[in-house]
């Protein structure tokens, strides 16, 4: 039936109900004698008032297939107001001679009308319920959480017999709910017994319907499911929904849910103070960290953002994305290599940036072990060029993005990042620019991250390769890391090295197991895990501070500051310049052992295999 015809048919049914309600009340109160003509007039008047009220509140646009108690509340209120209006009108105008419109008459008519109008809607809903009953063909689904979110999931899944998921049972830790039913679906037990109910009901999919669930709670659920082959899905967290970071739909549980933390508190006023209406340059703008810096900086309405990068395709993609999300802002793509001093100098001279975020770097540890000269050129020479130009053109603030691998480095990559940190400290001592370094560990979803590798291996049937059973790493999501990078910029007075709180270190072996479980498989049964041995330059565990740097708190609970190096920075600067000159003169394929020896002279804590 067409929508307009449905509305007209419903109005007709409501009018019949109102007329019947008036006649029934008259029969009861007038001992069987009904003034039919006046009853018809009264019914018509009531129909006009009540139908108008129902139409005003858009109650004829409700989909009766999914009608709820909210609509019934409005029905009752509109009908009551309508009868009170007629009752008051009759007191002053005495419209009806033979009908006694008393309080009792109004009450009975209201009861009969609300009951009849509601029964029409309930009948439609029951019709659809019985029509779909027993026709579900979706995956047998267990819902964890029998609260408002669980009810929302249930109603969404029951909308259609063609739903891919068929709700079978609820679990909830509220013991008062256990043994009851929610819209016909039983609540049978508590969450810690999830494995038992998976086998009992032959569950294929689990939905975690607890938007306030903590990381540890989600971990526990995943652990309970470790010996089963079920898909695990989740509702987005309330904070993610509010900030528009996720669709308001059921999605797969991902590793971020297992490694995440409470939402980060940002001082938006302070961040806006150094970014609003400023020209901001982001190097490595096409990379995972650089592109997220651009996205978050754009929220603070800078005058323009310069997207500096060496790869044209990645810069094109981030420029297009930013134009779509922030059409009112100015984004300027700048193709250039941080190793090219003349190009970098011309960019600073032309655009005169106020704030610089230097995220461009080579980050892949094994590759940099094989190509140490390139690591030196990009990570050290590139940072020197950016810092020198920032100093030369009076940039207000320069934030260098570093890594935990710079602490007591065992790899060329980590060592070159530490050299860059030292150079930043050196150049600050004679500059008006506020230089600061921000150091953090691995970020989820970055290029070269272990997670995409594991997922590809799982999709291929395994094995998943882990270098060492005890290897641990710090992990943080890219948005989390960048939020803290921007916040650290508000703390910088010049020369500091800020370290982000990365939470607890995570075993790579545990990470591999969880990814297999989230894929609906059983570790060591469906997918093998093989240990391949540590690669050149890798550490068993990472550190965020060296022993001499200490661990000093700042105004932000997730940002710490390392004590500055006590070494002679002037000597270090000369040594770094000597290393760069050696790489330039000897070419890209200079002996890696020579480079490592020179780095060792500058950074005594650097260790490497001298057998090379």
Q: Is the dihedral of CA 397, 401, 407, 409 positive or negative?
A: negative
* 3-state SS, one letter per residue, for 237-248: CHHHHHCCCCCC
Distance CA 598, CA 591 (A): 11
Q: Where are the strands (E) in 251-303, listed by range?
A: 251-252, 279-283
Distance CA 557, CA 223 (A): 30
Angle of helix 341-351 versus helix 382-392 axis, rounded to 10: 30
Considering 405, 417, 513, 539, which one is annotated as catalytic? 405
Structure tokens, 147:
């609260």
What is the 8-class DSSP label of residue 380? I
4 is catalytic: no
Angle at 306 between CA 301 and CA 308, to 5 degrees: 145
Distance CA 452, CA 454 (A): 5
Structure tokens, 54:
């129902």
Distance CA 165, CA 170 (A): 14
Instruction: List C-alpha distances in Å: 148 to 178, 198, 240, 343, 601.
Output: 16, 23, 17, 58, 63
Distance CA 570, CA 369 (A): 28
Spatial CA neighbour of 207 closest among 236, 243, 232, 228: 232
Q: Which residues contact 4 (CB under 8 A, 6 or more apart)?
A: none
Q: Strand 472-473 vs strand 205-208: parallel, antiparallel, or unpaired?
A: unpaired
CA 202 to the chain's CA centroid: 31
Instruction: Please say whether the beta carbons of 116 and 20 come within 8 A.
Output: yes
The helix/strand count (H/E) of the chain reads as 22, 22
- Tell me which residues are annotated as active site: 405
């Amino acid at each position: 039936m067409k929508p307009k015809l449905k509305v007209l048919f419903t109005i007709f049914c409501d009018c019949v109900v109102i007329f019947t309600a008036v006649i029934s009340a008259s029969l009861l109160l007038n001992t069987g004698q009904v003034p039919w003509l006046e009853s018809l007039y009264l019914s018509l008047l009531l129909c006009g008032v009540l139908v108008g009220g129902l139409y005003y509140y858009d109650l004829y646009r409700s989909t009766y297939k999914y009608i709820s108690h909210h609509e019934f509340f409005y029905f009752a209120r509109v009908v009551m107001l309508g009868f009170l209006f007629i009752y008051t009108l009759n007191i002053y105008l005495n419209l009806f001679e033979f009908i006694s419109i008393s309080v009792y008459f109004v009450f009975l008519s209201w009861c009969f009308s609300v009951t009849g109008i509601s029964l029409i809607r309930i009948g439609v809903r029951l019709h659809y319920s019985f029509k779909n009953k027993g026709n579900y063909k979706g995956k047998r689904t267990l819902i964890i959480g029998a609260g408002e979110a669980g009810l929302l999931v249930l109603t969404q899944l029951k909308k259609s017999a063609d739903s891919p998921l068929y709700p079978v049972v609820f679990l909830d830790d509220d013991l008062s709910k256990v043994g009851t039913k929610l819209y016909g679906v039983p609540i049978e037990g508590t969450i810690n017994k999830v494995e038992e109910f998976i086998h009992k009901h032959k569950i294929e999919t689990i939905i975690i319907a607890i938007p306030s669930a903590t990381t540890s709670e989600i971990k526990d659920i995943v652990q309970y499911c470790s010996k089963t082959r079920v898909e695990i899905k989740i509702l987005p967290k309330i904070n993610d929904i509010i900030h528009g970071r996720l669709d308001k739909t059921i999605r797969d549980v991902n590793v971020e849910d297992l490694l995440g933390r409470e939402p980060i508190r940002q001082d938006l006023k302070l961040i806006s103070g150094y970014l609003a209406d400023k020209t901001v340059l982001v190097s490595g703008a096409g990379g995972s960290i650089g592109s997220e810096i651009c996205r978050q900086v754009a929220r603070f309405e800078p005058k323009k953002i310069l997207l500096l990068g060496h790869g044209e395709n990645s810069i094109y993609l981030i420029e297009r994305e930013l134009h779509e999300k922030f059409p009112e802002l100015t984004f300027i793509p700048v193709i250039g290599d941080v190793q090219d001093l003349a190009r970098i100098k011309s960019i600073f001279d032309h655009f005169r940036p106020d704030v610089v975020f230097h995220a461009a770097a080579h980050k892949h540890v094994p590759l940099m072990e094989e190509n140490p000269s390139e690591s030196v050129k990009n990570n050290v020479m590139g940072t020197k060029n950016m810092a020198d130009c920032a100093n030369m053109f009076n940039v207000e603030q320069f934030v260098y993005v570093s890594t935990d691998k710079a602490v007591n480095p065992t790899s060329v990559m980590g060592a070159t990042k530490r050299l860059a940190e030292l150079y930043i400290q050196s150049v600050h001592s004679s500059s008006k620019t506020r230089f600061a370094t921000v150091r953090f560990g691995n970020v989820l979803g970055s290029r070269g991250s272990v997670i995409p590798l594991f997922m590809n291996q799982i999709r291929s049937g395994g094995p998943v390769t882990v270098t060492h059973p005890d290897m641990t790493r710090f992990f943080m999501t890219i948005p989390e890391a960048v939020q803290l990078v921007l916040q650290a910029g508000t703390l910088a007075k010049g020369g500091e090295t800020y370290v982000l709180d990365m939470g607890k270190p995570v075993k790579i072996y545990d990470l591999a197991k969880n990814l297999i479980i989230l894929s609906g498989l059983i570790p060591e049964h469906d997918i093998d895990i093989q240990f391949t041995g540590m690669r050149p330059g890798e550490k068993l565990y990472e550190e965020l501070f060296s022993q001499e740097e200490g661990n000093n708190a700042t105004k932000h609970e997730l940002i710490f500051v390392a004590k500055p190096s006590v070494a002679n920075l002037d000597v270090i600067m000369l040594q770094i310049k000597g290393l760069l000159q050696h790489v330039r003169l000897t070419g890209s394929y200079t002996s890696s052992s020579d480079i490592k020896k020179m780095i060792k002279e500058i950074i005594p804590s650097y260790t490497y295999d001298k057998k090379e």
